[in-house]
Amino acid sequence: MDRTVDWDGSGEGAVTAVDQRALPAEYRLRRLATVDELVAAIADLTIRGAPALGAAGALGVALAARRHAGDPARVRDEAERVAAVRPTAVNLRRGVERALARLGDGPDAVLAEACALLDEDEAINRRMGRRAADLITAVCPDRPLRVLTHCNSGALAAVAWGTGLGAVRELAGRGRIAEVLACETRPLLQGARLTVWELREMGVAHRLCVDSAGPSAIARGLVDAVIVGADRIAANGDAANKIGTYALACAAARHGVPVVVVAPESTVDHATRSGADIVIEERAADEVRTVAGVPTAPPDTPVYNPAFDVTPGALLAAVVTEAATFRDGAWTVEAPAPVTAEAA
């Protein structure tokens, strides 16, 4: 598989992205040559998933800096347009800010910074996958695991490898996965369309279930651990992730099943004190009134469509990043090691 988000240096340069709307029917790349095209691709979930959004944000600034060289005010306006498309996933704004910090050094420096973010992504993801797999193995030592996951936290949600599903990939490599139960993840079916596609590519045994079957699978003893990613993690360990995660965590807490959130440091927002301070993106009503474009409710039905919910840190067995672990109400930071693409 190509990098989910990348830079194509041919011609005037453009962002390339695996078109996540087309999967699983078709694997295709899109070339996004303008900030307008990139903003639209982020809004319609051609590009989605927190680390992938961070990469797209940084590359969006690189695009703007090349198109409007000599007009830093215009570049900043374009950068803000990109950063504002999806408010919950903090990686998007962080990616934008990281690239923007090099604006004074010229368009090539901005692009180099964006490309450095992309290069680091896989190494970071592999490292957090190893750390999460070690922790999960310690918590659940007995047998190959039946894991439940929600939404898509695989390579498609990042530049490569993945976060939550990256930990599953690491566990599978260690022979520690019996089965993954993937929740379909209404309304946009990231679990059914993307996670199942990735699990097939990985050769990991899996079954798909409707979202409402997840809590009952936990209650019936069919799940040893819940592993997910996150879009923003507050200082107190509260984690925003795809809508439906909270219900799974409530069921898991009720039945003593560990929930582990796997996410990069760039998803941890220490400036946000608790989950109550996380802005939750609300999306279009038609996402709920239709399935794959087919109406399933009267067209004018009022809709509640939050893209994410917040799971209190107290319901999580752990949050694992490439460098730190949140457990029992506190963060423990590992001695820092340099992150390089070679470390992958």
Q: Is 231 in the site for ligand MRU (CB under 6 A)?
A: yes
Stretch that binds ligand MRU, among 108-116, 155-163, 212-220, 291-299 (CB under 6 A): 155-163
Sheet strands side by side (includes 232-234): 268-269, 232-234, 239-242, 308-311
The phi, psi pair for 75, rounded to 5°, reads -60, -40
Interacting positions 192-221 with ligand MRU (CB under 6 A): none
Tell the residue number behind the tokens 């408010």, with chain if given.
87
Q: Is 163 in the site for ligand MRU (CB under 6 A)?
A: yes
Q: Is 16 in the site for ligand MRU (CB under 6 A)?
A: no
Q: Is 157 in the site for ligand MRU (CB under 6 A)?
A: yes
CB half-sphere exposure, 249, CA atoms < 13 A = 26
Strand partners, 290: 295
- As measured in angstroms, the least distance from the Cβ of 153 to ligand MRU is 3
Q: Which of 87, 187, 215, 229 binds ligand MRU (CB under 6 A)?
A: 229
Q: Which residue in the shown chain puts its C-beta closest to ligand MRU?
A: 229
Percent of the chain that is helix, strand, coil (3-state, to 5): 40, 20, 40
Per the annotation, the verdict on 77 as an active-site residue is: no
Cα(297)–Cα(288) distance, integer angstroms? 8
- As measured in angstroms, the least distance from the Cβ of 107 to ligand MRU is 28
254 is in an annotated binding site: no
Question: How many other CB atoms sit within 10 Å of the CB of residue 61?
Answer: 30
Helix (H, G, I), strand (E, B) or coil at 262: strand
Q: Which of 55, 167, 230, 252 binds ligand MRU (CB under 6 A)?
A: 230
Nearest 10 degrees: CA dihedral of 109, 115, 120, 121? Answer: 140
Q: Is 149 in the site for ligand MRU (CB under 6 A)?
A: no
- As measured in angstroms, the least distance from the Cβ of 106 to ligand MRU is 31
Helices marked H in 23-175 — which ranges? 35-43, 50-67, 72-83, 90-100, 107-139, 164-173
186 is in an annotated binding site: no
- Name which of 16 and 195 has its Cβ closer to ligand MRU: 195
173 is in an annotated binding site: no
- As measured in angstroms, the least distance from the Cβ of 317 to ligand MRU is 17
Candidates 224, 231, 269, 309; catalytic one: 231
Strand partners, 209: 183
- Name which of 190 and 325 has its Cβ closer to ligand MRU: 190
Question: How many other CB atoms sit within 10 Å of the CB of residue 279?
Answer: 12
Interacting positions 45-84 with ligand MRU (CB under 6 A): 45, 48-51
49 is in an annotated binding site: yes
Interacting positions 267-306 with ligand MRU (CB under 6 A): none
- Name which of 140 and 168 has its Cβ closer to ligand MRU: 168
- Name which of 49 and 129 has its Cβ closer to ligand MRU: 49
48 is in an annotated binding site: yes
Q: Which of 242, 244, 247, 288 binds ligand MRU (CB under 6 A)?
A: 242
Q: Is 241 in the site for ligand MRU (CB under 6 A)?
A: yes
**Count of residues in contact with ligand MRU, rule CB under 6 A:** 18
Angle at 251 between CA 246 and CA 254, to 5 degrees: 125
Whether 82 and 38 have beta carbons less than 8 Å apart is answered as yes
> Helix/strand/coil (H, E, C) string of 189-235?
CHHHHHHHHHHHHHCCCEEEECCCHHHHHHHCCCCCEEEECCCEEEC
Q: Which residues are annotated as a binding site for substrate?
A: 48-50, 86, 190, 241-242
Q: Which residues are annotated as a binding site?
A: 48-50, 86, 190, 241-242
Residues making contact with ligand MRU (CB under 6 A): 45, 48-51, 151, 153, 157-158, 163, 190, 228-231, 241-242, 307
**Residues designated as active site:** 231
